[in-house]
A = this chain, B = another copy of it.
Amino acid sequence: MGSLSDNFRSIKPYVPGEQPRDTERIKLNTNENPYPPTPMTARELGRLDPSAFNLYPDPEASELTEAIAAYHGLQPENVFAGVGSDDVLANCFMAFFNSGRPILFPDITYAFYEVWADLFKIKYEKVPLDGELRIVKDDYLRENGGIIFPNPNAPTGICMGLDDIRAIAEYNSDVVVIVDEAYIDFGGETALELLKEYGNLIITRTFSKSRSMAGMRIGYALAGEELILQLKKIKNSYNSYTMSSAAIKLGAAAMADEEYFRSTIEKIKRTRESAAQRLRELGFHLTNSESNFLFASHKKISAKKIFEELKKRRIYVRYFDKPRIDNYIRITVGTDAEMDALIDALTRILEDEK
């Protein structure tokens, strides 16, 4: 007889950014949107009928997938919805990375890719970014069991051009290529127009960033019908009803308010550019982030020290203790007032170092 723990799956779990509970803090560490979701979600919330919560939700989440399809000019058969894009991506890993050959993703990227590969026992190779932390297209033109990368990449915020993505999709027609567009609304060019050409391409999106709805847990994949069908099969083998009635209704309502969506994104982009400018003036080196975060390094003071000093002042940013990026902090773009407070704090921290 062995011990109970012999039966456990061995894994190294993902460590999400802190979720401090105090309210007197500035939270720039998990790339949330500083603005509330469209008032349409509040209106829809008021219309929810709690007496109908006794019934299972629509397992197809049709109201939501139809709204998403209409928004992107696609068919509902091209849309798969899940509990945030993490759920969608985990389903993709299970559904599509089963060839036995290693999948490829950048060495510096969203940390969950490695965690899912470990969880599902998928072989992988981490492909190094170049010296300026950019994804090199040519490194993905070789035999593999599938490819995934974010565009813009995280935590660098750097975008890849559509021609490079096309070349990767084209060369790898025998495997699934996933472009994780969690941050695409903040910059860069979506690969949407490639979906019609490439049946092996999947684009994933989330409501957690540009749509200000991290709390409701909604994400989706866009792809050709064959891949979406396969995703649905996997999801229906895991949990038939992942999207609550509330998430379906509120998500669908949120897709309808393009004007609010655009104005929020424009505000964040303006704040990003002015904050980047002021950080450079303080001596920071920044990657060319087109996302809702900045990735910053300073010659005179270590990123770890900055992270800790900010935390003492109850300003939370993200620090990754990983090779090549352990001297960077990732700063979510908040409101102008939050960025003012950040710049003030950094100014003082740098002065104290002199």
Chain A residues at the B interface, C-beta cutoff of 8 Å: 1-9, 11-16, 19, 21, 27, 30, 32-37, 41-42, 45, 48, 50-59, 83-84, 86-87, 90, 94-99, 115-116, 118-119, 145-146, 173-176, 199-200, 208, 212-217, 226, 230, 232-234, 236-247, 250
Contact = CB atoms under 8 A, between A and B. Distances in A.
Given A8-B230, A12-B237, 12 more contacts: A2-B99, A7-B145, A16-B56, A16-B240, A27-B55, A45-B48, A53-B214, A54-B214, A54-B215, A57-B214, A215-B244, A217-B243
Given A13-B237, A86-B241, A237-B115, A214 B56 contact: yes
A36 B51 contact: yes
Contacts of A42: 50-51
Select the residue from A215, A234, A236, A241 with max chain B CB neighbours within 10 A. Answer: A215
Contacts of A215: 52-57, 244-246
21 contacts: A1-B174, A4-B226, A6-B99, A7-B146, A7-B174, A9-B95, A12-B237, A21-B58, A32-B54, A36-B50, A37-B50, A45-B45, A53-B250, A84-B241, A87-B239, A87-B242, A94-B119, A118-B237, A119-B234, A215-B244, A244-B247
Contact of A56 (B32, B51, B199, B237): B32
A308 to B, nearest CB: 23
Closest 5 CB pairs of A and B: A36-B51, A215-B245, A13-B236, A54-B212, A53-B215
Select the residue from A19, A54, A86, A243 with max chain B CB neighbours within 10 A. Answer: A54
A60 to B, nearest CB: 9
A69 B68 CA distance: 38
A7 B99 contact: yes
Given A236-B14, A244-B246, A208 B56 contact: yes
Select the residue from A35, A36, A145 with max chain B CB neighbours within 10 A. Answer: A36
B52 A8 contact: no
Given A4-B174, A52-B215, A53-B41, A237 B119 contact: yes
Contacts of A234: 9, 11, 13, 119
A218 to B, nearest CB: 9
Nearest to A208: B56
A237 B119 CA distance: 7
B116 A237 contact: yes
Contacts of A174: 1-4, 6-7
B9 A94 contact: yes
A237 B56 CA distance: 27
A173 B115 contact: no
Contacts of A6: 99, 174
A145 B9 CA distance: 13
